[in-house]
């Protein structure tokens, strides 16, 4: 934790100045780093952010069948949401949890910690029952291996993250520490951030994105990643990933079309 705080302070001084409103090229606000420093959930949301998880209950969250989320495969411990181990593979889909509300243009921030060998993700623009969704990959980081589209912070199976900060530091922190993720959706543009560093930016209506999808496991999925709005989902994938400080800034402005690229 102390190592990260020191690095975060340098990042804030040099490159992480907060800005007003949405700017697709701007780094996260200083509130994102404050979230990492705080060992428990913040009780006051940063400006214009709303907590998706209250730190105490499952209010506002549901399973894929529409029923309210419970503590079956998730436990709440010290303002931390923990996914617990299961030996039943079929539970992966049924135990993932979704927000009650849907979002279109937003900034989503969350802290996470990954156990050795664990694998999860934050999916977004989702529809209940739909399995092929845009995903911020959460996986045990392996800094000695090259970046891949299944690595930490990747747009799963589509785009590989660029971990190197402009000053040369690697965005990935120790797996034993809390890390911070951020997903930004602004119309056609999607960004993934990791610990204050933008690691992915993609135009989901571009020929490049279409080519990436066509060569991926989602090639048979019509209009993959192009849904204009949808729910936020925390993936249950055999446990071992903890979350806290899950909050969102809702920019609204939903497209009238279901497909963002047809408006």
**CATH number of the domain enclosing 149:** 2.60.120.560
Structural domain range at position 141? 2-262
Torsion of CA 46, 48, 53, 59, to 10 degrees: 140
Confidence at residue 18, expressed as pLDDT on a 0 to 100 scale: 36
Contact by Cβ (8 Å): 176, 134:
no
Q: Under a CB-based contact definition with an 8 Å cutoff, are residues 179 and 194 in contact?
A: yes
- Rounded Cα distance, 177 and 211, in Å: 36
Packing angle, helices 30-37 and 2-14, rounded to 10: 170
Q: What does the pLDDT profile of the chain (263 residues) look like in tens digits?
A: 444 444 344 433 444 333 333 333 333 333 333 333 333 344 445 678 999 999 999 999 999 888 888 877 899 998 999 998 776 655 566 789 999 999 999 999 999 999 998 999 999 999 998 889 999 999 998 888 889 999 999 999 999 999 987 677 889 999 999 999 999 999 999 999 999 999 999 999 999 999 999 999 999 998 999 999 999 999 998 889 999 999 999 999 877 789 999 97
Q: What is the pLDDT of residue 144?
A: 81
pLDDT attached to residue 90: 54
| Spatial separation of the C-alpha atoms in residues 44 and 163, rounded to whole Å | 30
Measure Cα distances from 159 to 69, 108, 179, 230, 252 in Å. Answer: 31, 19, 20, 21, 26
Measured at the CA of 18, the angle between CA 33 and CA 253, to 5 degrees, comes to 105
Residue 162 has, within 13 A of its CA and on its CB side, a CA count of 9
Alpha carbon distance 96, 236 (integer Å): 4
Number of domain units in the chain: 1
Listed in sequence order, the residues at least 6 apart from 243 whose beta carbon sits closer than 8 Å to its beta carbon are 53, 80, 81, 110, 111, 112, 234
Model pTM? 0.81
């Amino acid at each position: 934790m102390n190592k990260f705080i020191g690095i975060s302070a340098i990042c804030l001084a040099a490159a992480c100045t907060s800005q007003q409103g949405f700017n697709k090229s701007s780094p996260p606000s200083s509130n994102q780093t404050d979230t990492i420093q705080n060992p428990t959930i913040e009780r006051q949301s940063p400006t214009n952010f709303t907590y998706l998880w209250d730190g105490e209950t499952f209010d506002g969250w549901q399973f894929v069948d529409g029923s309210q989320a419970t503590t079956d495969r998730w436990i709440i411990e010290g303002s931390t949401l923990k996914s617990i181990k299961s030996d039943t593979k079929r539970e992966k889909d049924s135990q993932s949890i979704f927000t009650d509300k849907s979002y279109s243009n937003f900034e989503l921030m969350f802290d996470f910690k990954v156990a050795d060998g664990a694998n999860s993700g934050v999916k977004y623009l989702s529809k209940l029952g739909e399995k092929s969704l845009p995903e911020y990959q959460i996986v045990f980081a392996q800094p000695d291996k090259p970046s891949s589209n299944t690595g930490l912070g990747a747009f799963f199976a589509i785009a590989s993250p660029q971990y190197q900060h402009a000053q040369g530091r690697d965005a990935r922190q120790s797996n034993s520490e809390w890390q911070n993720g951020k997903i930004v959706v602004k119309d056609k543009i999607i960004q993934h951030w990791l610990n204050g560093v933008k690691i992915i930016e993609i135009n989901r209506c571009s020929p490049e994105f279409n080519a990436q999808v066509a060569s991926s496991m989602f090639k048979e999925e019509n209009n993959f990643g192009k849904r204009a709005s949808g729910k936020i989902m925390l993936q249950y994938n055999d446990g071992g990933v903890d979350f806290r400080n899950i909050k969102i800034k809702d920019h609204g402005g939903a497209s009238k079309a279901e497909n963002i690229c047809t408006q």
